[in-house]
């Protein structure tokens, strides 16, 4: 059975906060609400678009409504790859693993349409065996069923797979699914979110080395 690496998207594969913050602030401006800084936006990322907006509206003393969610989703999908870029070493690392026969997959709480559009725009989609997004299955992270469904779609097995992510949701999903988890310290989650991870990588290239070690042939 081939080895499989399942990766979170925002904060792990790509630095998407610039475009998320821009879309969020366009929405805030349309509602007459104060903008958010990029660090403030990063702190709200990790549980999907709806949670991001719920947190943003709550921070401004407002409640999220369906129209705002729809407006943000449409706007962001059209501008998801303006400033968003892969983190250093991502493309080379993924290509190296693919060349070794690894299956690669993304498991994200981001909506599937936006996730696939972003991955395609950045030239990463062609390297992936599957994309399990926030609306791809009935469950999503931290529910391990989301990770297991993504893994199944990629043709992998829990016994020969590892998860990498920058959020506590990734660690919880991995452990619930019986996979080792590498915490992406270069991402948006703070050190506290690494609790329980099997390893911590400071850079994507270091993560590749750790993944090889955890799933030695």
- Active-site residue list: 8
Distances (CA, A) of 111 to 32, 76, 132, 216: 26, 11, 9, 33
The span from the CA of 162 to the CA of 152, in Å, is 13
The span from the CA of 57 to the CA of 163, in Å, is 31
Pair 140, 172: CB distance under 8 Å? no
Token code pair at residue 94: 């993924």
DSSP state, residue 206:
H
DSSP string, 74-141: HHHHHTTTSS-EEPTTHHHHHHHHHHTT-EEEEE-SS-HHHHHHHHHHTT-GGG-SEEE-TTTSS--T
């Amino acid at each position: 059975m081939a080895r499989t690496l399942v990766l979170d998207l925002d904060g792990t594969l790509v630095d998407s906060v610039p475009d998320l913050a821009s879309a969020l602030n366009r929405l805030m401006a349309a509602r007459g609400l104060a903008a958010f800084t990029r660090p403030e936006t990063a702190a709200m990322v990790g549980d999907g678009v709806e949670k991001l907006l719920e947190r943003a509206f709550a921070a401004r003393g407002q409640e999220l409504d369906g129209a705002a969610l729809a407006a943000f989703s449409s706007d962001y999908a059209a501008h998801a790859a303006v400033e968003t870029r892969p983190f250093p070493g991502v493309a080379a690392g993924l290509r190296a693993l693919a060349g070794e026969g690894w299956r690669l997959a993304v498991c994200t709480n981001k909506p599937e349409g936006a996730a696939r559009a972003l991955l395609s725009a950045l030239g990463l989609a062609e390297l992936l065996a599957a994309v399990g997004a926030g609306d791809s299955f009935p469950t999503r992270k931290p529910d391990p069923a989301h990770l297991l469904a993504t893994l199944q779609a990629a043709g992998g097995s829990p016994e020969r797979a590892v998860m990498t992510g920058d959020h506590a949701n990734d660690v919880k999903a991995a452990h619930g699914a019986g996979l080792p988890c590498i915490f992406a310290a270069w991402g948006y989650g703070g050190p506290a979110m690494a609790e329980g991870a099997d390893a911590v990588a400071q850079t994507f290239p270091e993560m590749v080395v750790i993944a090889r070690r955890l799933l030695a042939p």
